[in-house]
Amino acid sequence: MEGKILLGHGSGGKLSHELINQLFIKHFNNSILNSQTDSAILYIDKKNIAFTTDSFVVDPIFFPDGDIGKLSVCGTVNDLAVSGADPLFISVSFIIEEGFSLNDLEIIVKSMDREARKAGIKMVAGDTKVVDKSKCDKLFINTTGLGCLDEKNKSISTGTNVKIGDKIIINGSIGDHGMAILSARNEFNVKSDIKSDCACLNHLIKKTLQVSPNIKFMRDPTRGGVATVLCELVEQKNFGIEIDESAILVQEKVRGLCEILGFDPMYVANEGKVIMIVAQEDAEQIVDTLKKDKLGKNSVVIGEIVDDHHGKSWINTGIGGRRIIDMLAGEQLPRIC
């Protein structure tokens, strides 16, 4: 391969997909990896195990309503949960810059511990590396998670049962995490009190799985936002996606900041949201169930699977127009997770 790594290779968008397909999948090529689900689904001794890894390089490491530690637990718990799995065990590996404050490290560790206990996942393995001053930016954290997956939930991560007429649900407003990180950076001289939505969703998701056997697909719209999840899902499928923009909740202060800086909230990262695709007949009951939980109180149907423009997602804008939702070409907001 020729060329150099660009920030866009870590964006979750087009360049990331190219890197994954033309390098990682090409060489590591095996059916489990190739399925590109949020968690790898392993079959060990007649049991399905979900397995997922993520490194966190968020900048800044402390932000409104979260820090890199909380984020690293929530991110991995959510990747397991959206695969339909019960999160059980998590490992943590720190890469720390020489000179980093032990006090800050303790705050982060306590935050991880609190979040892991709330989610009911056990921190069971770890590693620490220290690199010389200026060879990393404060602190990077990898978490890798393991969960048990019921046979009946196996198709949730691949979305193979999604069909025309299914409804698309999200559990609240979009773009909060990305804009909270951006304003915490103070780069653009903008002040805001936007808080990250960073939260573990496994208990919320479990409740919905208990009320409906018709949850066809779930994914957490992190890097690349809601738009990227929809693009990935619809790609090469025999159906299209139709999104109703007016149904999508964007907090006023998030919308304002996005407008000032030229971001589309549809592409901004979330860390406490799940997109669910569910059978039409179960949609209302699922939204009601989600709404009973603090983390789902603003849940809403935002669109549906349609027998039109196969392989593409369209969004109907509030003013009667419509536009296609495409994969992000480069990097919009580096280091938001």
The closest of 166, 191, 170, 161 to 179, measured between CA atoms, is 191
Strand (E) or helix (H) holding 103: helix 102-119
Q: Which of 62, 64, 65, 96 binds a copy of itself (CB under 8 A)?
A: 96
**Cβ 37 to a copy of itself, closest distance in Å?**
9
Binding piece for a copy of itself, criterion CB under 8 A, among 19-27, 212-220, 230-238, 274-282: 19-27
Question: Per-residue x/- mask for a copy of itself, residues 121 to 140, rule CB under 8 A?
Answer: -xxxxxxxxxxx-xxxx--x
When binding is defined by CB under 8 A, the residue of 60, 89, 161, 293 that contacts a copy of itself is 89
- C-alpha span between 209 and 279 (Å, rounded): 13
Of residues 131 and 164, the one with the C-beta less far from a copy of itself = 131
Residue from 170, 283, 272, 184 nearest 227 by CA = 170
Give the shortest CB-284-to-a copy of itself separation in angstroms. 35
| Number of residues this chain uses to bind a copy of itself (CB under 8 A) | 81
Q: Work out how close the CB of 253 gets to a copy of itself at its nearest, in angstroms, rounded to a whole number.
A: 27
In the list 94, 239, 263, 267, the residue contacting a copy of itself (rule: CB under 8 A) is 94
Site membership for a copy of itself, residue 311 (CB under 8 A)? no
CA-to-CA dists, residue 328 to 39, 50, 81, 250, 272, angstroms? 22, 28, 25, 20, 21
Beta carbons within 8 Å of 229's beta carbon, 6+ residues apart? 219, 221, 275
Q: At what angle do helices 68-81 and 102-119 cross, to 10 degrees?
A: 30
- Nearest CB to a copy of itself, comparing residues 32 and 324: 32
* Polymer length of the chain: 337
Q: Is there binding between residue 10 and a copy of itself (CB under 8 A)?
A: yes
Q: Is 307 in the site for a copy of itself (CB under 8 A)?
A: no
The residues near 219 (Cβ < 8 Å, ≥ 6 apart) are 38, 82, 229, 232, 233, 274, 275
Stretch that binds a copy of itself, among 101-109, 157-165, 253-261, 270-278 (CB under 8 A): 101-109
Residues 21-80 that bind a copy of itself (CB under 8 A): 23-24, 27-28, 30, 32-33, 39-40, 42, 44-45, 47, 49, 51-57, 59
247 binds a copy of itself (CB under 8 A): no
Pick the closer one to a copy of itself by CB: 111 or 171: 111
Asked if residues 329 and 16 have their Cβ atoms less than 8 Å apart, the reply is no
The rounded distance, in Å, linking the Cα atoms of 229 and 208 is 20
